[in-house]
Amino acid sequence: MLLSAQTMIANTASYSAAALARICDLEETIDAHCKPYLAGVFEETVAISVYDRGNQNRFCIGSTLDDRDLVSIFIDWVGDHPDSIDSPAVSAMAAALIDRYPCPMPVDRTRIKVRPATWVLGQKCDSANQRDRDICRHYLLGVVDTSLLYREARNRGYFCVPAFTSPSGEELVNAFARWWERNPGKHHYPAVNAARAVLTERFPCGPQDKPPRGPR
């Protein structure tokens, strides 16, 4: 059901699998574009399994994982599935995680190391340095693409944008920077929780959308 939604988000996803694989293979873009995007995908997938009680864990991590592992998992899976290169990168990464870490197996969330704090991401978003803003933008795009993928698969979500559209990267960076400045008492939050709060505030759902309960 998850992967059947990939056609529906193909026009809104930030990258195809092939495009992201090229970005992940370049020294000048792997750290500022590839790693934060995959971290956003990963963190939002974990968050969905926590906050959307009706959604079972799609994958189960039983070992230490960092951003370099995410890159390897993605590149290896795309290399093994050449028919996936035109699919959205977020769909490919979701499939790669499911294949690599099937459930059930012991899960130790404390050993998952791809979890930036809000104050770290906020500094990147609020920076005048373009590389910092690129890191922020790609993390947030990973969160958005993942949420839209699961929304299409399950017809539910915690923020709502018009059909077949997605917020621009710069819009996300500026929205997060503003939220970060207004909420100094929440700088210790995991970045994905703050990203969810920003998206809920910036793109609220109407009563007809019935979003699942999540962080505010």
> What do you get for the CA distance between the two ends of the chain, in Å?
28
List, for residues 175-199, the tens digit of each pLDDT value. Answer: 999 999 999 999 888 898 899 899 9
Q: What are phi and psi of 69, to 5 degrees?
A: -65, -40
DSSP class per residue in 178-203: HHHHH-GGGTTSBHHHHHHHHHHHHS
Lowest average pLDDT, out of 4-8, 33-37, 43-47, 48-52, goes to 4-8
The whole-number pLDDT of residue 156 equals 58
Q: So where are the chain's domains? A: 3-203
User: In this model, does residue 112 exceed pLDDT 80?
Assistant: no
Does the pTM of the predicted model rise above 0.85? no
The whole-number pLDDT of residue 203 equals 85
